[in-house]
Structure 1
Amino acid sequence: MENANVINAPGKSGVNPRTVRTSIMIGLILGMLLACIDGTVVGTSMPHITADFPNGNALYTWLITGYLLAETIVTPIAGKMSDLYGRKPIFLAGMILFLGGSIFAGFSQSMEWLIIARVVQGLGGGMLIPVAMATVADLYEPQERGKIQGILGAIFAIASAIGPFIGGVIVDHATWHWVFFVNVPVGILAIAFTAIKFPKVQADSNLKIDYPGIATLSAFLALLVMIVTFGGSTYAWASVEIIGMVLAAIIFLGLFIYLETRSEEPLVPLRLFRSRTFVAGCSGLLIMSLGLFGILTYVAMYLQVYVGFSATNSGATLIPLTIGMTITSIGSGFLLKKTGYMPWLIIGPPISAIGLYLISTLGMGSPQSEASLYLIIAGLGMGCVMSNFIVAAQNITARRDMGVMTSTMSLFRSIGGTVGAALIGSLINNRMITELQSHLPSDVFNAPFVPHDTGIMDEINNIVAAFPQYTGLDLGIIMSYGESLSYAFVICSIIVLATLIASLLVKRIPLKTDEEYEQINLEAERLHEEELAKRMEKKLQKSEKHKGNGSG
């Protein structure tokens, strides 16, 4: 069976490679930019959105969870579908879903309406990012992919970080509805570039979709997102609800693995996990994202509440982080042909860990220049790693598996970010209790109306008013919150440093030339045909055995 994306590669379809590649990449970058921004843009718009609806505060978490849930579920499915049917139809379908969800969200008249629209946006966003990254492998030879993946990695970082800033600017000067409407013109441009220039693909009519795999993996990922979203907040970690979801997730994961071993065209080919580089890359992205999103989620609040920055300055503090990531993400990509990916994978985690640790040393009144320097250091380390794990895996992966391989690695990165934000939040909550006990008088700490979690920040004025005999009580609360976050950032630095273990497990394989890469594709097709022949032989044997038993 010919892989659908082979004819997508410029130079193999009779079109001008430079013209096609440039146009396609512009469309893909625009689409990826929208998807990344929309994952975080709602955060700063949330107070305005919840104020518009009577049940806004009760349902606001679903605005983020709904998008994240849909994006996580569809990511591996989109990768496999793009391997089977080509990148173009999957990307365009994702873009249309994303724009439809954006328009639907902009016209929302209720919280439920907006949540449904966010889910539709998430479905589209989950199709855009992995397809964009997989398309790089179709358009460029292994030795050229590094710089393009570096650019995409930089866009991922920048867009994720500026999302809250863009959302804040829009709601300060217009209504929150425009947070979603501004996507439309950019999305139309993305569709125009990709629809016109992407070569058409004829899908194989004999392809079989792994519906059982899609169902079981979707159930597992949905449960995983809900566990980390609601565990420790809506429900206690030891509650019946969380334990039940954990058991159900384990069952669905086991069932998915079993079904994939028996599927003719598995959603996630388990043979990918025989590659040490692929497994190490997935693990590295998972671990790095645990630490990265712990910082992205809480650093602005840390700098505003504890260090003393203004709301504007604290909201802009992620810019230095993205500057650092952009420098090394793009820089390593352009140097990859000379250096290979291993030096970057090795130096990245320690540099990033040092930056995160230095951020934890900031105190009340620390200058913004100091915070910016530490964030740039953390970003420099992260930029060395995020795209190069994918480049290393793409270097040894056949074209027929490129989409599902890239989307699976994107899935591990997404899971790491989701789990990281939730676990760091729980870590801060638990540490807050210890810090409050050391910074507050015992009668204040033991007061029945004092919440023993980060929700205490909303109760500062009430607590201070209830205990007028204690001066500086609000300072003790702020100190407790700040030192809890500082403790969490130290843990994040240790987690990020552990990425080095995954980096060292990646095989040192030189970037392949076009000719060497074609040999990988030919060998993969040969093995695939052999596997299909074996399965057909087994089916015939079973059929003959069944006929024999019937005649007997």
Structure 2
Amino acid sequence: MTDRLTYENISPQVRKLAMVGLALGMLVACMDGTIVGTCANVISKDLGGEELYSWMITTYLLCESAMVPIAGKMSDRYGRKPLFLIGLILFAAGSIFAGLSNSMLMFIICRGVQGLGGGILMPVAMASVADFYSPEDRGKVQGALGAVFGVGSGIGPLVGGALCEYINWHWVFFINIPIILVCILFTVKKFPERKADTSKKIDYAGITVLTLIILDVLLYFQWISGEMEFISARSIGMIIIGIILSILFVSIERRVEGPVLAPKLIHSPTFVKASTYMFIMGLAMIGTLTFIAMYMQQMFDIGTMECGFYLLPMVVGMMITSMGSGMLVNKTGYRGWIVAGSTLIMAALLLMYTMGSDPNKMLLFVYLFIFGLGLGCVNSTVMISVQNHTSIENMGMTTSAVSLMRNVGSTVGTACYSLIIASQMNSKFADSTYSFVNDIFNFNGTGLIALRYVPGFDIPGQATLAETIVEIFGTSVCAAFLFGGLIYIVALVISFTMDKKYTVSEDENRH
């Protein structure tokens, strides 16, 4: 590659300014992944598309996940700067038109454009750390980006709730524009460039098939948590399509000169363990974040903005350990942080399981803080481990592949939590004294919450219909937390196999 960009030939001042732009871009992408959560009801009612409610969030995640591996490979080929600027432009365009939307269909399309932009911003920002910093310094920078990831994801609901409550929902998206303008200023003026590597052909076939695989997998888990039956022609058809596409993808990647995801990655134990771990982490993190807000709103009868404030203990915990692990990982090694983080995450989820339908507010704050501490320990550390075992030429591809696994885990986690909560609510309500009410309304899953506000069915001497619904919902959500805690046992086992010492690949040592 000509004019290779490495940490050895970048001015420290330029590097710092470029990282500010990258961090802000990552912040806005993370924030918009969760910002709709607390104001989705308001948006869907205003635009008149309640039946498309879930697609406001799902479309963003689908497009983001599909773009992640493409962006990583393209940034290896053409450099980080042009890809990052494209991501900023896409995100800005999606934000502007999402705020101007006058129909649910237009809004969902704009969320998809935002997702495409976000799918570029996040992997390019993380891969750039390896370009800008030596292996010895990557820890603290990835730790800072890990804190940005936590802050962005955590304050999204708070920012969305505040803007929706005090101004209007349109500003949930317009607020992105000044941040993006600052990002463009920093990345245009101060982002180092390198010449494009055009020596290898672009793997268009691989990109296309991989995108179809991602869409098939994510849509399957989205639909299986809703209207699609496990045993149905549609479900079986999607599984068969996924298998055929996967076989075709492996065949393509083995033949092409510059694969979008090189098959040799599976021969790296560090990559395989990190990818598996990030899949489980994404499953537990987003699954929990998706439903903990709804849980708090129902259990404590609070509004969107207050719900956002209740999530701050988790954000604080994540910031503390993200920065701490980043600063110390080169001295302590990887394993200690990942084992500690896995233990904390598992413990927090199992403790949240015990809350049931009558949670103690202070205990919930403590559990969220522990959960945040655990996430901060592992998020950056796992990524640093992968990058320190990856060549500069494949940094974008490898970083994006691990990020993709976290995104897929997020979708699977949301679907699994949804399935558990829906099945628990359906069975518990069917066994309750108020089961006859649903013969009239025919709700199911979390839709049963609507019965909380239906008057005239209370039975004297029994808990009210509203109290019954709240109790059923609370215990059902906690059952999903139990699932998250138990599945994290696998992540804990993997954490004991991670490198104990802070090791760097031979390829890195040659740079």
- Determine the structure 2 residue equivalent to 1:132: 125
Write the deviation string for residues 12-67 of structure 1: whole angstroms up to 9, x where unpaired.
2xx52x2011101000001001111111112222222222223x113232222221
**Structure 1 match to 2:95:** 102
- Partners of 2:129 and 2:222 in 1: how far apart? 33
The alpha-carbon deviation at position 204 of structure 1 amounts to 2.9
Q: Which residue of 1 aligns with 2:400?
A: 407
**SS of match in other structure, 1:272:** helix
Deviates more, 1:74-83 or 1:384-393: 384-393
Q: 1:476 aligns to what?
A: 468
CA RMSD across the alignment: 2.1
For the 8 Å contact 1:210–1:265, the answer to whether it is kept is yes
Shift of 1:79: 0.2
Aligned-pair CA distance for 1:460: 2.5
Cα deviation for residue 256 of structure 1 reads 0.8
Name the residue aligned to 2:450. Answer: 458
Q: Distance between the aligned counterparts of 2:397 and 2:197, measured in 1?
A: 17
SS of equivalent to 2:253 = helix
Secondary structure, in 3 states, of the residue corresponding to 2:37?
A: helix
Q: Which runs of 5+ in 1 are unaligned?
A: 522-552
| Contact 1:307 1:363 (8 Å CA) reproduced | no
- Cα distance in 2 for partners of 1:22, 1:384 equals 24
- Alpha-carbon spacing, 1:218–1:485, altered in 2? closer, same or farther (3 Å): same
Which of 9, 19, 25 aligns to 2:19? It is 25
Is the alpha carbon distance of 1:310 and 1:70 closer, same or farther for their aligned partners in structure 2, counting shifts above 3 Å? closer
Rounded Cα–Cα distance in structure 1 between residues aligned with 2:65 and 2:416: 18
Once residues 473 and 19 of structure 1 are traced to their aligned partners in structure 2, the CA distance between those partners, rounded to angstroms, is 64
Deviates more, 1:428-437 or 1:353-362: 428-437
User: Does the residue aligned with 1:42 lie in a helix, a strand or coil?
Assistant: coil
Matches within 5 A, 1:85-124: 85-124=78-117
Matched, 1:46 2:40: yes
Cα deviation code 1:167-212 (max 9, x no counterpart): 1111112222111111111101101111111222221333310000
How many angstroms does 1:316 deviate by?
Answer: 2.2
Residue of structure 1 aligned with 2:377, choices 376, 381, 384: 384
> 2:510 and 2:339 mapped to 1: Cα distance?
26
Letter in 1 for 2:86: A
Q: Partner residue of 2:288?
A: 295
Q: CA deviation at 1:505?
A: 2.8
Residue correspondence of structure 1 range 491-506 to structure 2 within 5 A: 491-506=483-498
- 253-262 or 197-206, larger mean C-alpha shift: 197-206
| Cα distance in 2 between the residues matched to 1:60 and 1:305 | 19
Partner of 1:546: none
Q: Residue 143 of structure 1 contacts residue 512 of structure 1 at CA under 8 Å; is this kept in 2?
A: no
**Matches of residues 259-408 of structure 1 in structure 2 within 5 Å?**
259-306=252-299, 312-363=305-356, 366-408=359-401
1:188 maps to 2:175: no
Output the amino acid matched with 2:354: T
Structure-1 residue corresponding to 2:479? 487
Provide the C-alpha distance between the structure 2 equivalents of 1:176 and 1:114, rounded to a whole number of angstroms. Answer: 12
The CA deviation at 1:117 is 1.4
Task: Give yes or no for contact 2:288–2:481 (8 Å, CA) kept in 1.
Answer: yes
Are 2:150 and 2:315, in contact at CA under 8 Å, matched by a contact in 1?
A: yes
Kept in 2, the 8 Å contact 1:444–1:467? The answer is: no
Whether the 8 Å CA contact 2:281–2:409 is kept in 1: the answer is yes
Pair 1:307–1:486, CA change in 2 (3 A):
farther
| Alpha-carbon distance in structure 2 between the residues aligned to 1:89 and 1:95 | 10
User: Post-superposition shift, 1:217?
Assistant: 0.4
2: CA distance, partners of 1:458 / 1:487: 21
For the 8 Å contact 2:429–2:435, the answer to whether it is kept is no
Pair 1:468–1:48, CA change in 2 (3 A): same
> Are the aligned partners of 1:27 and 1:194 in contact in 2 as well (CA < 8 Å)?
yes
- Contact 2:158 / 2:307 at 8 angstroms: preserved in 1? no
Q: Distance in 1 between matches of 2:152 and 2:498?
A: 28
SS at match of 2:38: helix
| CA displacement at 1:476 relative to structure 2 | 2.2
**Secondary structure of the structure 2 residue equivalent to 1:206:** coil
After superposition, give the CA deviation of every residue in 1:518-545 in whole Å (9 maximum; x if it has no partner).
4456xxxxxxxxxxxxxxxxxxxxxxxx
Question: Partner of 1:178 in structure 2?
Answer: 171
Aligned residues: 510
Structure 1 SS opposite 2:235: helix
AA partner of residue 107 (structure 2)? L
Pairwise CA distance, 1:405: 0.4
- Name the CA shift for 1:232/1:355 in 2 (closer, same or farther; >3 Å): closer
Structure 1 residue 153 corresponds to structure 2 residue 135: no
CA distance in 1: counterparts of 2:452 and 2:442, whole angstroms = 9
- Determine if the alignment matches structure 1 residue 77 to structure 2 residue 70: yes
Which digits, 9 at most, give the CA deviation of each residue in 1:231-266, with x for residues without a partner?
131322323222222221221122111110111100
The one-letter amino acid paired with 1:186 is I
Structure ID, larger Rg: 1
For structure 1, which segment, 444-453 or 98-107, has the greater mean C-alpha deviation from structure 2 after superposition? 444-453
Change (3 A) 1:305 1:58: closer
Kept in 1, the 8 Å contact 2:335–2:500? The answer is: yes
Distance 1:181 1:416 in 2: 29
Residue 229 in structure 1 maps to residue 222 in structure 2: yes
- State the AA in 2 paired with 1:393: V
Aligned 8 A contact 2:451 2:469 in 1: no
Give the Å deviation of 1:97.
1.0
- The structural deviation recorded for 1:468 is 4.1
Q: Which residue of 1 aligns with 2:433?
A: 441
CA distance in 2, matches of 1:311, 1:266: 45
Q: Residue 204 of structure 2 is aligned with which of 182, 194, 211?
A: 211
SS class of match (1:507): coil
For the residues of structure 2 that align with 1:86 and 1:504, how far apart are their CA atoms? Answer: 35
Q: The residue matched to 1:243 in structure 2 has which SS?
A: helix
Single out whichever of 72-81 and 166-175 deviates more from structure 2: 166-175
TM-score, L = length of structure 2: 0.95
> Is the Cα contact below 8 Å between 1:76 and 1:407 reproduced in 2?
yes
Distance 1:179 1:311 in 2: 13
User: CA contact under 8 A between 2:206 and 2:260: conserved in structure 1?
Assistant: yes
Partners of 2:23 and 2:122 in 1: CA distance:
9
Check the 8 A contact 1:278/1:393 in 2, yes or no.
yes
Paired residues of 1:352 and 1:382 also in contact (CA < 8 A): yes
